[in-house]
Amino acid sequence: MLLTLGLAACSDATSPRNPPPAGSVVSSEDLISDPTGYAPLTARLELETSIPVSLSLRVSGRHGPDSDVRHQFRELSRHHAIPVLGLYENYENHVDLTLYDSEGVELEVRSYTVSTPPPNPHLPEITIDQVQPAAMVKGMTLVSYFGNDGELFPNRAFIFDRWGDVRWVLDYSGHPSLGELSFDVGVERLANGNLYFGSQQTDEIYEVDMFGHVLNSWSMPGFGFHHQVLEKPDGNFLVTVHNWSVSTVEDHVVEIDRTTGAVINVWDLTQSLDPGRRTWSDRTSDWAHENAVAYDDRDDTIIVSARHQGVVKLTRDNHVVWILAPHRDWQTAGDGTDLSELLLQPLDAAGAPISDPNVLSGDTNHPDFEWNWYQHATKVMPNGNLLLFDNGDNRNYVGQGPYSRAVEFSIDADGMTVQQVWSYGKERGAETYSRIVSDVDYRPEENHMLVSPGAVEFGGEYYGKVIEIDRGTGALVFEATITPPQPFRIVTFHRTERLSLYPD
């Protein structure tokens, strides 16, 4: 990318370090475009000043002030290296930097123009179908993207704003170890503000910054990464893995100590569940297909989504607390436990047990309750309820579809009951049906749900959607359709997140 330093600096694209004008507190500056070569809509501004200053940055949006990216760097220092985020593709981006003294008095404004490359041909078309700006959860949408333009790997991540403009891209093409990255569930943000993901090629977990610098990595000797890595509140990682010492796959979870890198706990689903149960799949190796893990800090348990079995809550020593799934064919676990005694009893809206054997088995639905089918993205909500994306594949044992749902369940582990308290998606039918992948998140501050079916095949097109719903009123607040040049098989993306470009 070419850089033009304006106002307080002269233009010199081949030599971006330029002497400041007389009277400036800036003694030297250097603006470096895409410092790693893997995040083309970023730059790094290195600044030295004669006195300690704090800074504020503004990247001008092309849809008025609401589309500006703004961030304050409050640290007083004479030496700054700040990330410039939120640039547009194929655009002359205008960037303002304001300097303040120790009392907060504005000293000067320096301006820059950053020219960015053409759009990445692998990225999708983004159509904004609905937007209520004042009601939306703030921030932009991070997409862990599988679509492509004929080059399947690496998987790429991007962030788009509410106008449908891409404002950040992470593309490891050509990287020595991540050039064939398959991150599965994808990229999420750590508590420290950096990003993290796992790689199915290297079987490692990575911490990276917004430029794509690899800051840390963790290996798992004897185990292979698939699907998800989750940061616990204590900083350790829960990872869904293959155990390379056994013949089955996708049926173990490990905990990695963040500091030492050691594997400090292992959950073996072949012991806690029944690896011979074939009710949802006839696969013998991939009998469980765990695709998500959640952590419940109320009782130090994990909740595992096994696509081919259901959802199971496990203690730290791998004992089943409850099973959320239709009641058909549950027998004896690998450790000898009678699993039929650990199935949750569904309740109707009034709190009465549902006793219809056809509902319990999953052959039919109750007006107040439906089981989860081949689910993804299990989450524990602040109120303790369980949230998940109910894909609906083979719903009621009759094949694909016809709809997917985001659904919230209230679970009483003492009473061993489950009650459906909220859902969305059935009313949308096939246009949001995604038999695999997909995501749902809850934002408690706004009481909104973010629902993201990631592998929709409808009307002869492949796409994914990002849908924001007011949980209280049911109002549609935001919807975007993401249409790739071509999907990966049928997948556009796996998960999405709403976040700010700069960590809060």
Q: Is residue 95 part of a domain?
A: yes
The answer on 132 and 89 residing in a single domain is no
Q: Are 138 and 70 in contact (CB under 8 A)?
A: no
What is the side-by-side order of every strand in the sheet holding 310-314? 290-296, 301-306, 310-314, 320-324
pLDDT tops 50 at residue 4:
no
Q: How does the average pLDDT of the chain come out, rounded?
A: 95
Mark whether 42 and 130 lie in a shared domain. no
Same domain, 246 and 279: yes
Q: Answer whether 354's CB lies under 8 Å from 367's CB.
A: no
Residue 262 lies in a domain: yes
How many helical (H) and strand (E) elements, i.e. helices and strands, does the chain have? 2, 33
Cα–Cα distance for residue pair 288/374, rounded to 1 Å: 10
Per-residue confidence (pLDDT) for residue 380, from 0 to 100: 98
E strand spans, 185-287? 188-189, 195-199, 204-208, 214-219, 223-231, 237-243, 252-256, 263-268
189-217 pLDDT, tens digit per residue, is 999 999 999 999 999 999 999 999 999 99
Structure tokens belonging to residue 177: 């170890």
Residue 454's nearest CA partner among 141, 240, 164, 195 is: 141
Q: Please indicate, yes or no, whether residues 245 and 375 belong to a single structural domain of this protein.
A: yes
Euclidean distance between CA atoms 95 and 93, whole angstroms: 6
Q: Tell me whether residue 316 is in a domain.
A: yes
Check residue 478 and give its pLDDT: 98
Phi, psi of 376 (to 5 degrees): -140, 170
140 and 66 part of one domain: no
Per-residue pLDDT reduced to its tens digit, 415-438: 999 999 999 999 999 999 999 999
Structural Rg of the chain based on CA atoms: 25
Across 279-302, b (16+ Cβ under 10 Å) vs e yields bbbeeeebbbbbbbbbbeeeeebb
SS3 270: helix
| Predicted confidence (pLDDT) at residue 276 exceeds the cutoff of 60 | yes
For residue 14, pLDDT beyond 50? no
Whole-angstrom distance, CA of residue 147 vs CA of residue 386: 30
Find the mean pLDDT for residues 293-319. Answer: 98
272 lies in some domain: yes
Where a domain ends, among 92, 115, 138?
115
**Total structural domains in the chain?**
2
Contact criterion met (CB below 8 Å) for 251 and 267:
no
The whole-model pTM stands at: 0.95
pLDDT single digits (tens) 144-172: 999 999 999 999 999 999 999 999 999 99
Per-residue pLDDT at 292 exceeds 50: yes
Assess whether pLDDT exceeds 50 at residue 358.
yes
Are residues 207 and 280 part of one domain?
yes
Report DSSP letters for 319-382, one per residue: -EEEEES--TT--B-TTS-BGGGGBPEEE-TTSPBP--HHHHHTSS-BTTB----S-EEEEE-T
**Can you give the pLDDT at residue 501?**
98
Res. 19: pLDDT tops 70 = no
Asked, for residue 120, whether it belongs to a domain, the answer is no
Q: Supply the pLDDT for residue 57.
A: 98
**CB atoms inside a 10 Å sphere around CB 339:** 20
Quick one: residue 261, left, alpha or beta (phi over 0 = left, psi -120 to 50 = alpha)? Answer: left
Burial group, residue 63, by CB count within 10 angstroms (0-12, 13-18, 19+): exposed
The pLDDT of residue 151: 93
How confident is residue 48, by pLDDT bands cut at 50, 70 and 90?
A: very high
- pLDDT of 70 strictly over 90: yes
Q: Is residue 414 part of a domain?
A: yes
Which residues neighbour 101 within 8 Å (Cβ) at sequence distance 6 or greater? 51, 52, 53, 107
> Tell me, what DSSP letter sits at residue 426?
G
Q: What is the pLDDT of residues 119-148, one digit of tens each?
A: 999 999 999 999 999 999 999 999 999 999
Residue 5 has pLDDT above 90, yes or no: no
pLDDT mean over 93-105? 98
Given pLDDT bands bounded at 50, 70 and 90, which one contains residue 18? low
How far apart (Å, rounded) are the C-alpha atoms in residues 313 and 305?
A: 9
Among candidate residues 56, 81, 115, the one where a domain is terminated = 115
80 and 138 part of one domain: no
Determine the average pLDDT of the residues in 299-321. 98
Give the strands of the sheet with 252-256, arranged side by side. 223-231, 237-243, 252-256, 263-268
The C-alpha torsion from 305 through 154 and 164 to 128, rounded to 10°, is -50
User: With 50 as the cut, is the pLDDT of residue 6 above it?
Assistant: no
For residues 17 and 103, membership in a common domain is answered with yes
- 110 lies in the same domain as 130: no
Separation between Cα atoms, residue 263 and residue 251, nearest integer Å: 16
Q: Please, what's the largest Cα pairwise distance for the chain? A: 84
- With contact defined as beta carbons under 8 Å apart, do 406 and 335 qualify? no
* Among candidate residues 115, 145, 177, the one where a domain is terminated: 115
102 and 142 inside one domain: no
Residue 191: CATH number of its domain: 2.120.10.30
- The helix (H) or strand (E) run that includes residue 271 is helix 269-272
Q: Is 218 found in the same domain as 144?
A: yes
Domain span including residue 269: 125-499
Output the six-digit token pair for 352. 């009465």
Is 434 a member of any domain?
yes
Rounded mean pLDDT, 68-77: 98
Q: Which CATH number does the domain housing residue 89 bear?
A: 2.60.40.3100
Spatial contact of 142 and 187, defined as CB atoms under 8 Å apart: yes
Three-class secondary structure of residue 171 per DSSP: coil
Buried b (16+ CB within 10 A) or exposed e, 359-390: bbbbeeebebbbbbbbbbbbbbeeeebbbbbb
Give the residue carrying structure tokens 């293959």.
242
Quick one: pLDDT band at residue 103, thresholds 50, 70, 90?
very high
C-alpha–C-alpha distance, residues 362 and 394, integer Å = 10
Is 150 inside a domain boundary?
Answer: yes
* Shared-domain flag, residues 291 and 403: yes
Average pLDDT over residues 389-417: 97
